């Protein structure tokens, strides 16, 4: 069975007008990972996130080239880089930030993110030796920013990494509520609890569209709180007499905090192993 590659050729002069508000996902829409979204308005573009996905070694392919991670094809916006007003990063997970040090030289525009995400990005740049001249503009939690014809309201949400942000993107042609990754957690280990009133107030505005990003969002029910995970971990680990090894994602800072609390309550030391883990907490 041969790989089938479908190529969609878009007009070279494809350009949003002053009455247009376009959403063009280059990656991450209907799939896990490599999020790269474009919003177009009044001859300008805004990029939201620039992440990677992890290569599946079991996936059939005829290509002799393999890689640990993959990113979305940025050719469309690379050809229009002079029209790209800026890049907004919603949070510091690899599927939203991981490709930026490698792809940014193709874009050459300012990057906007919160202080924690900015620090993680700087460490990634230092480690890779790439994109040393990237202008990183830190936005305070709940702040606003004007990026070309786009007004961005940053809205704090709850997730497994510090300072996750949803975006209210306002243009003369309409408004889009871009959620980024989220879950409703009333007792998170990082940041403040989920505030439903903030998002209920959005219902009073004339929102053109909502772009939602939440893994397993189509499954009924709610995701468990990190506090519940802490209680379960504590109950299991407190009975153990010897060393306990726990695996996890390095970017799940909430889980690391839970394990720190478990270690303290059970009289243990917490040791972290792995470059990505050390990068997150160092």
Note the pLDDT of residue 64: 62
Residue 13 lies inside a defined structural domain of this protein: no
Q: Are residues 232 and 134 in the same domain?
A: no
pTM of the model: 0.87
Q: Are residues 262 and 160 in the same domain?
A: no
Residue 12 lies inside a defined structural domain of this protein: no
Q: Are residues 109 and 162 in the same domain?
A: yes
pLDDT tens for 137-188 read: 999 999 999 999 999 999 999 988 899 999 999 999 999 999 998 888 888 8
Residue 244 lies inside a defined structural domain of this protein: yes
**Looking at the predicted structure, is the pLDDT value of residue 220 above 60?**
yes
Note the pLDDT of residue 187: 84
Q: List Cα–Cα distances, 110 to 16, 206, 208, in angstroms.
A: 21, 29, 26
Q: Which of 93, 86, 78, 74 is nearest to 32 (CA)?
A: 93
> Is the distance from CB of 69 to CB of 52 less than 8 angstroms?
yes
Q: Are residues 255 and 131 in the same domain?
A: no
Q: Are residues 89 and 186 in the same domain?
A: yes
Domain-terminating residue out of 213, 244, 262: 213
Domain-terminating residue out of 166, 192, 213: 213
CA 54 to chain centre: 15
> What is the spatial distance between Cα 134 and Cα 140, in angstroms, rounded to a whole number?
19
N-to-C CA span, the chain: 47
Phi, psi of 208 (to 5 degrees): -70, -45
Domain that holds residue 176: 22-213
Residue 17 lies inside a defined structural domain of this protein: no
Q: Domains in the chain: how many in total? A: 2
Q: Are residues 205 and 253 in the same domain?
A: no
> Is the distance from CB of 125 to CB of 101 less than 8 angstroms?
yes
Q: Are residues 201 and 230 in the same domain?
A: no
> What is the spatial distance between Cα 166 and Cα 74, in angstroms, rounded to a whole number?
23
Q: Are residues 35 and 96 in the same domain?
A: yes
Q: Are residues 168 and 249 in the same domain?
A: no
CATH number at residue 112: 3.60.15.10
Q: Are residues 108 and 148 in the same domain?
A: yes
Q: Are residues 128 and 245 in the same domain?
A: no
Domain-terminating residue out of 213, 244, 266: 213
Residue 14 lies inside a defined structural domain of this protein: no
Residue 2 lies inside a defined structural domain of this protein: no
pLDDT tens for 262-274 read: 999 999 999 998 8
Q: Are residues 92 and 206 in the same domain?
A: yes
């Amino acid at each position: 069975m041969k790989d089938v590659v479908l190529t969609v050729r878009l007009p070279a002069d494809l350009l949003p007008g002053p009455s247009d508000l376009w959403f063009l996902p280059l990656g991450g829409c209907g799939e896990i990972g490599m999020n790269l979204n474009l919003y177009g308005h009044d001859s300008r573009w805004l990029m939201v996130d620039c992440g990677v996905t992890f290569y599946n070694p079991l996936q059939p392919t005829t290509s002799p080239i393999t890689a640990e991670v993959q990113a979305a094809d940025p050719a469309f916006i690379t050809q229009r880089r002079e029209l790209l007003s800026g890049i907004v990063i919603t949070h510091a997970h690899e599927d939203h930030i991981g490709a930026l040090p490698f792809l940014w030289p193709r874009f050459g525009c300012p990057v906007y993110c919160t202080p924690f995400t900015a620090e993680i990005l700087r460490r990634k740049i230092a480690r890779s030796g790439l994109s040393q001249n990237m202008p990183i503009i830190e936005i305070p939690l709940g702040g606003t920013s004007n990026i070309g014809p786009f007004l961005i309201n940053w809205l704090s949400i709850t997730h497994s990494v510090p300072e996750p942000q949803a975006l209210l993107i306002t243009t003369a042609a309409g408004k889009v509520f871009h959620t980024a990754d989220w879950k409703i957690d009333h007792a998170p280990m990082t940041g403040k609890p989920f505030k439903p009133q903030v998002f209920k107030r959005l219902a009073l505005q004339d929102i053109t569209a909502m772009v939602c990003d939440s893994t397993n969002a189509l499954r009924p029910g709610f995701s468990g709180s990190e506090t519940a995970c802490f209680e379960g971990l504590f109950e299991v680990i407190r009975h153990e007499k010897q060393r306990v090894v726990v695996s996890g994602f390095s970017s799940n800072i909430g889980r690391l905090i839970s394990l720190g609390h478990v270690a303290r309550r059970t009289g243990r030391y917490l040791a972290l192993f792995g470059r990505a883990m050390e990068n997150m907490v160092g």
